[in-house]
């Protein structure tokens, strides 16, 4: 019986705590994520100042055009609804 107890105790001593193992694997996965993240960001071709200004102005103009279109449709539907109700 003593031999079995000694073997069991050795196995328990060799197997790490589940919480410790989880934190180690989480830390490893997190480090891997950040290393891969940094490597991917190095591959990105960032726009220069002129391109950024151009893209921003395009977004502003398109947003204004869409908002104007929606406003016109809203006003038209409001007039039609008032005409039907009155």
Q: Which residue, among 47, 43, 45, 44, has the nearest Cα to 57 in the 3D structure?
A: 47
Tell me the three state secondary structure of residue 1: coil
Task: Give the pLDDT band of residue 12 (cuts 50, 70, 90).
Answer: low
16: CB partners within 8 A, 6+ apart? 24
> Please, are residues 55 and 47 in contact by the beta-carbon 8 Å criterion?
yes
Gap between the Cα atoms of 71 and 86, Å rounded: 22
Q: Which residue has the higher pLDDT, 22 or 62?
A: 62
- pLDDT score at 9: 62
The pLDDT tens digits for 28-75 are: 888 899 999 999 999 999 999 999 999 999 999 999 999 999 999 999
- pLDDT score at 15: 57
């Amino acid at each position: 019986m003593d031999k079995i107890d000694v073997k069991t105790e050795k196995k328990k001593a060799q197997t790490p705590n589940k919480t410790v193992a989880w934190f180690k694997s989480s830390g490893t996965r997190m480090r891997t994520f950040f290393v891969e993240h940094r490597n991917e960001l190095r591959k990105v071709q960032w726009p220069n100042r002129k391109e950024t200004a151009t893209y921003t102005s395009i977004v502003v103009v398109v947003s204004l055009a869409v908002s104007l279109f929606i406003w016109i449709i809203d006003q038209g539907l409001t007039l039609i609804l008032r005409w039907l109700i009155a």
